[in-house]
């Protein structure tokens, strides 16, 4: 199995560089409705430096989830603004683009958006890597199982997906990325 090379801003590289790791300027999102286009986000800007944790607060419907989904490339609608990683503007049009840049999203509602509750933890962990682990278009169940077993062992996860605690749900989803 080939190892994926890490983005230049991951790991130790982050701590040696100055300036924001993530910079968002003028982020906007408009969605279509029966009555035309509706602004969901308008003019959102912030910087996050290495080691910082950014909290996004607000009432239901205030746009918290939409900010993160827009950065991750999973929102629907017209997007605008600029996203930069270590000062380099990036174009994130899909979750695949975000993953290639080293960006992951742990969803707000893990049971409906983040997990396949009817599948095993092993299947949930291997899900984003199925395409990469495939050979000649066929799934490699052995490679998926080996990777997932290692991840599950590292996290110490033992519960079935449908009975998993919120903490273990976050761990299983974050381990995907």
Tell me, yes or no, whether 12 lies in a domain.
Answer: no
Enclosing domain of residue 67: 18-100
Q: What is the pLDDT of residue 149?
A: 78
Q: What is the pLDDT of residue 109?
A: 67
Tell me, yes or no, whether 9 lies in a domain.
Answer: no
d(CA 21, CA 57): 21
Q: What is the pLDDT of residue 126?
A: 73
Domain final residue, candidates 70, 100, 130: 100
Q: What is the mean pLDDT of each successive set of 10 residues along the chain, which is 177 residues long?
A: 46 60 94 88 94 88 89 90 95 89 79 69 72 79 81 68 56 58
Query: What single string gives the DSSP state of each residue in the chain?
Result: -PPPPPPTTSTHHHHH--SEEEEEEEEEEEEEETTEEEEEEEEEEEEEETT--------TTSSHHHHHHHHHT---SEEEEEEEETTEEE---SHHHHHHTT-----SSIIIII--TTS-HHHHHHGGGHHHH-BTTB--HHHHHHHHHHHHHHHT--S-GGG--HHHHHHHHHHH-
Domain final residue, candidates 100, 127, 146: 100
Q: Residue 19 — left, alpha, or beta (φ > 0 → left; ψ -120 to 50 → alpha)?
A: left
The answer to whether 63 and 38 have CB atoms below 8 angstroms apart is: no
Domain final residue, candidates 63, 78, 100: 100
Give the count of domains, the chain. 2
Residues 122 and 92 grouped into a single domain: no
């Amino acid at each position: 199995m080939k190892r994926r090379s890490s983005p230049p801003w991951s790991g130790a590289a982050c701590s040696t560089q100055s300036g924001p790791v993530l910079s968002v300027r003028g982020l906007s999102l408009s969605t279509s409705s029966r009555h035309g286009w509706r602004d969901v986000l308008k003019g959102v800007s912030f910087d996050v430096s290495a080691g910082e944790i950014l909290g996004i607060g607000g009432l239901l419907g205030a746009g918290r989830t939409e900010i993160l989904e827009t950065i991750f490339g999973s929102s629907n609608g017209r997007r605008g603004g600029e996203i930069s990683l270590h000062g380099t503007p990036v174009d994130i049009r899909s979750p695949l683009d975000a993953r290639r840049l080293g960006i992951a999203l742990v969803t707000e509602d893990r049971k409906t958006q983040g997990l396949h509750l009817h599948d095993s933890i092993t299947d949930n962990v291997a899900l984003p890597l199925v395409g990469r682990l495939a050979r000649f278009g066929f799934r490699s169940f052995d490679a998926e199982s080996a990777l997932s077993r290692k991840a599950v062992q590292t996290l110490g996860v033992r519960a079935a997906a449908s009975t998993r605690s919120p903490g273990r749900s976050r761990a299983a989803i974050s381990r995907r990325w």
